[in-house]
Amino acid sequence: MSELGFIKIDPKSTVAPYQQVREQILSAIAKGKLAPGSKLPSVRALSGTLNLAVNTVAKVYKELEPQGAVVTRGRHGTVVQAAENRAEQEVSDAAAGFGPDCAAVVSR
C-alpha cells in the first residue's frame, strides 16, 4: 500500500488542504508515481499521516471517484483506476451532458 509520503500540506497556502491533497494525488497519477491498481491508504491512515480531519481526506477520495481517478471497493479500499477506465469515464461523462440518449449510445 502506498503511504503517499510525497504529499505535503502547506499550511501557509491559500489553497484548502483537501485541494492540496487532491491535486497532489492527481499529479502523482498523471506522472506515474501512482500506477493503476495502486492501493491508497485508508481515509483514517492518510488523515493521521497528514494531521488532517478524517472528513477532509474522505472528501478528497469522494471527489476523485467521479473523475475516474480512483475507485473504492468497500472493504478492499480505494485504488487508482486504470487509465483506460478513466478515459471511458470521461467520454461517458461528456456524453451525459448531451442527454440520456447520447450517454446510452456511448455506453454500448
pLDDT of the residue at 75: 85
pLDDT in tens, 54-83: 999 999 999 999 999 999 988 889 999 976
Looking only at the bridges linking them, the beta strands covering 78-80 and 70-72 are antiparallel
pTM over 0.85: no
pLDDT of the residue at 19: 97
Which of the two residues, 85 and 21, has the higher pLDDT score? 21
DSSP classification of residue 68: T
Which of the two residues, 106 and 67, has the higher pLDDT score? 67
